[in-house]
Amino acid sequence: MNVFEELGDGFTLIDLGTDDAASAFEAAASDLRIPLKLIRDSASDGRWKYQSRLILVRPDQFVAWAGDEAKSAAELLRRAVGQSTFHSEKI
């Protein structure tokens, strides 16, 4: 898979083998009316080099966030589109 060819016009979430974290992002994106494409794949074939199982990519193809789990998908998406106030709690 060529990641750049798979990216959507809006935000893209690459899920490299999480159990259910992508579902939270899909629900939050729908609620917030943020276009989100989901790419599910495995960490095989060198994708383990990403060092995270979840990668949120902005429409301009820059990584907005990466991690193995997200406590609040909605807050991450709000921050990515500039709709959130900053606070120091790790999400």
Q: What is the DSSP letter of 78?
A: H
Quick: pLDDT tens for 26-61: 999 999 999 999 887 755 554 445 567 788 999 988
Contact assessment for residue 17 and residue 43, using Cβ atoms and an 8 Å cutoff: yes
Q: Would 88 be classed as within a structural domain?
A: no
Structural domain contains residue 41: yes
Quick one: pLDDT at residue 46?
A: 47
Q: What is the mean pLDDT of the chain?
A: 78
Residue 67 banded pLDDT, cuts 50, 70, 90: confident
Higher pLDDT residue, 37 or 1? Answer: 37
Is 66 exposed, middle or buried (CB count within 10 Å of its CB: 0-12, 13-18, 19+)? middle
Residue 78 falls inside a structural domain: no
28 membership: H or E segment, kind and range: helix 21-32
Residue 13 has pLDDT above 70, yes or no: yes
- Domain assignment of residue 30, yes or no: yes
- The total of structural domains in the chain comes to 1
Q: What pTM value is reported for the model?
A: 0.76
